[in-house]
């Protein structure tokens, strides 16, 4: 029998992934803006920033685990207006006000983005920013639709430990790998057992995990003092089977067989017609910086940035979103985010 400690640790790990993009959604008012996809599903979205018709840069923001189109991306209004940035945020399949996709795959996520971009007339090329688990649709874009990309940023991207190119020396003893392998097997083969187990009343609340230094860096804990924790992962929410199966489908897609290994991608922009960036916290306890460094060394066409005192919640650190945008859109680099030496 799987121990309660393993269950709570799994919820905590996924909770950190969730926390990377989450703020409480605003009260619902008008019906959501939605598009109808070619397979009949509806995808809900919202727009922010400057007017699309007046914009210089058009960015699709991809939310992470348990989040939604209401995700927080705290870029300064001054920068948004000065550069002319338009954002579109959308509920990925099964989340928020978008229909589920029973056939969800890594590839289908990229083509949801293409259909969204085409129906909103974002142009022949656009930018994509993926946060945490929202990185797997972003990697998918690099694999399947590079010709549509003006630039890409992966912020604290999660790692699929099944990628064949990851060296055993880095992942053999990683406790996160074992948690993910266990959760993936259960989610794929006996989801009913997982649902029953995590909705038991005697499984400890995720509130005991918040601000736990085992899971969060010092700066992350400071963020959590002013940001709510894991409301999507409470027992009350998980009792809703539609919520449970949306989360379950995301885990299976993110950590299952992708059909390709990102570490073996060739440069999709041989003439430097686009820029690709990874942003990582040196003190991230969800994804080890060593793995991100390995990936960036193998893919030398990716620009790697490391926040030396940063954890998994660097998105919420004061001013960081402006750094993300300046690097992605105008190529502005900062010595502050060069990898820390051994």
E strand or H helix at 275, and its extent?
strand 275-281
**Can you tell me the distance from the alpha carbon of 134 to that of 136, in angstroms, rounded to the nearest whole number?**
6
List, in order, residues 6 or more apart from 158 with CB less than 8 Å away: 17, 132, 133, 135, 136, 254, 286, 287
State the residue range of the domain holding 255: 1-342
Using the 8-state DSSP alphabet, how is residue 261 labeled? -
Length of the chain: 342
Helix (H, G, I), strand (E, B) or coil at 214: coil
Per-residue confidence (pLDDT) for residue 1, from 0 to 100: 45
E strand or H helix at 251, and its extent?
helix 241-255
Per-residue confidence (pLDDT) for residue 18, from 0 to 100: 55
**Can you tell me the distance from the alpha carbon of 291 to that of 163, in angstroms, rounded to the nearest whole number?**
11
Using the 8-state DSSP alphabet, how is residue 318 labeled? T
Per-residue confidence (pLDDT) for residue 13, from 0 to 100: 57
Domains in the chain: how many in total?
1
Per-residue confidence (pLDDT) for residue 143, from 0 to 100: 97
Six token digits for residue 289 = 């910086």
- CA quadruple 130, 134, 139, 141: dihedral sign: negative
List, in order, residues 6 or more apart from 187 with CB less than 8 Å away: 194, 248, 251, 252
**The CATH number of the domain where 28 resides is what?**
3.40.50.1820
Are the C-beta atoms of residues 310 and 304 closer than 8 Å to each other?
Answer: no
Nearest-10 crossing angle of helices 241-255, 191-198: 120
Residue reference for tokens 């989040």: 67
Six token digits for residue 19 = 């926390």
Kindly report the pTM of this predicted structure.
Answer: 0.89
**Can you tell me the distance from the alpha carbon of 281 to that of 289, in angstroms, rounded to the nearest whole number?**
7
pLDDT (tens, 9 = 90+) of the chain, 342 residues, equals 445 455 555 555 555 555 566 654 555 557 789 999 999 999 999 999 999 999 999 999 999 988 889 998 999 999 999 999 999 999 999 988 999 998 999 999 999 999 999 999 999 999 999 999 999 999 999 999 999 999 999 999 999 999 999 999 999 988 888 888 877 887 788 777 666 666 665 554 444 445 556 667 889 888 888 776 555 555 566 566 677 778 888 889 999 999 999 999 999 998 888 999 999 999 998 899 999 999 999 999 999 999 999 999 999 999 999 999 999 999 998 888 998 775
Other CB atoms within 10 A of residue 22 CB: 28
Per-residue confidence (pLDDT) for residue 17, from 0 to 100: 59
CA terminus-to-terminus distance, the chain: 41
């Amino acid at each position: 029998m799987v121990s309660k400690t393993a269950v709570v640790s799994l919820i905590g790990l996924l909770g950190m992934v969730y926390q990377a993009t989450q703020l409480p959604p605003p009260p619902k008012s008008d019906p959501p803006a939605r598009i109808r996809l070619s397979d009949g599903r509806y995808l809900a979205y919202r727009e922010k920033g400057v007017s699309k018709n007046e914009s210089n840069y058009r960015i699709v923001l991809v939310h992470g685990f348990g989040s939604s189109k209401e995700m927080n991306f705290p870029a300064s209004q001054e920068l948004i207006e000065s550069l002319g940035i338009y954002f579109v945020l959308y509920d990925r399949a099964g989340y928020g006000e978008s229909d589920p996709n029973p056939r969800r795959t890594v590839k289908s996520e990229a083509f949801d983005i293409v259909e969204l971009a085409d129906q909103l007339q974002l142009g022949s090329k656009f930018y994509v920013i993926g946060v945490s688990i929202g990185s797997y649709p972003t990697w998918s874009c690099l694999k399947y639709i590079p010709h549509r990309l003006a630039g890409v940023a992966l912020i604290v991207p999660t790692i699929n430990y099944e990628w064949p190119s990851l060296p055993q020396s880095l992942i053999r003893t990683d406790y996160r790998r074992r948690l993910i392998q266990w959760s993936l097997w259960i989610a794929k083969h006996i989801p009913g057992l997982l649902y029953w187990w995590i909705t038991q009343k005697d499984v400890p609340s995720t509130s005991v995990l918040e601000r736990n230094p085992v899971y969060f860096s010092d700066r992350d804990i400071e963020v959590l003092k002013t940001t709510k924790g894991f409301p999507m992962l409470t027992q009350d929410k998980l009792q809703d089977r539609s919520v449970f199966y949306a989360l379950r489908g995301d885990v299976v897609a993110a950590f299952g067989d992708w059909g390709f290994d990102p570490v073996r991608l060739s440069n999709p922009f041989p003439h430097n017609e686009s820029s690709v960036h990874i942003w990582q916290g040196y003190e991230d306890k969800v994804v080890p910086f060593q793995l991100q460094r390995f990936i960036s060394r193998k893919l030398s066409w990716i620009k790697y940035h490391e926040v030396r005192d940063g954890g998994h919640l660097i998105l919420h650190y004061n001013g960081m979103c402006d750094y993300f945008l300046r690097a992605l859109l105008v190529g502005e680099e900062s010595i502050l985010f060069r990898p820390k030496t051994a």
